[in-house]
Structures are given as C-alpha cells and as structure tokens.
Amino acid sequence: MELKEYVLGHQHVGLPAKNLQETLDFYKGLGFEVAWQSANGRCVFLKLKNVMFETFEVGDRAAMAYGAIDHLALEVTDAEAAYQIALDKGYKVVSKGLETLPFWDNGVKFFTIEGPNKEKIEFNQYL
C-alpha cells in the first residue's frame, strides 16, 4: 500500500507566532474564527471556510521572515499504517515517532517527516 492511500486531504498549516494575541487579532480581522484552542490557550486552530491553520506562541524564536511556516499537515485515516509506510520507504522522521496530543474532542495521533527542502510534513489523524 502507498502512503497516499491514507491521505484524506489538507488538514492545516502550522504557523509559529511571536505574539499570539496579535496573530489572532490579525487573522480574525481577515474573517478566521477560532475552531479549537488548547486548555492553556497557547495553541489555537483558526478556520475560514476550508482553510485551517494552527498558530502557537514561540516568542522571540519566531523566524519573522518569509518562509516562516512551521509545517504542512495532511489528514490521514490511519496514522499507524501511514507511519509504518513512511519508515519502510526510508523517510526521515523528525517527530518523536508516532505521537499523540489531547487536541480536539478525542485527541490526535501524528508523525512528521522532513521534505527535501527541510520542510516538515505532518500526517495527522483525528481520534
């Protein structure tokens, strides 16, 4: 089976923020709405129609330069199966293996690989 067999489509883009409130205000001004946020409020998913991104405050570690997007996430039906295919194909995994986070209603399971331009591609499954 190929990795593409598990991909449903684009899920989100990860955007590190120097100042989270400033970032939220800016994107809300463009029409984005909060779709989900972590209990501590330091990670927020914003959505406008079928476009979603995750923004999280990193302070002075933000690149503040063009190309500063952190990752592209693809939604998958089975993160474990996709992870095994990525390993079998020799992709460079840059996450701590297959990880979980308590995001959304039931959490997410994901892993991240490195692309040829040092871009990070996350394969993410809603649980």
What is the mean predicted confidence (pLDDT) over 35-40? 95
Asked if 79 and 109 touch (Cβ cutoff 8 Å), the reply is yes
Closest by CA to 98, choosing from 125, 80, 115, is 80
Span 57-105, pLDDT tens digits: 999 999 998 888 999 999 999 999 999 999 999 999 999 999 999 999 9
Q: Is 46 helix (H, G, I), strand (E, B) or coil?
A: strand
CA-based nearest residue to 124, from 114, 106, 111, 113: 111
Tokens of 16: 């590190």
Question: Binning pLDDT at 50, 70 and 90, where does residue 116 land?
Answer: confident
Please state which CATH number belongs to domain 3-126.
Answer: 3.10.180.10
- pTM for the whole thing? 0.88
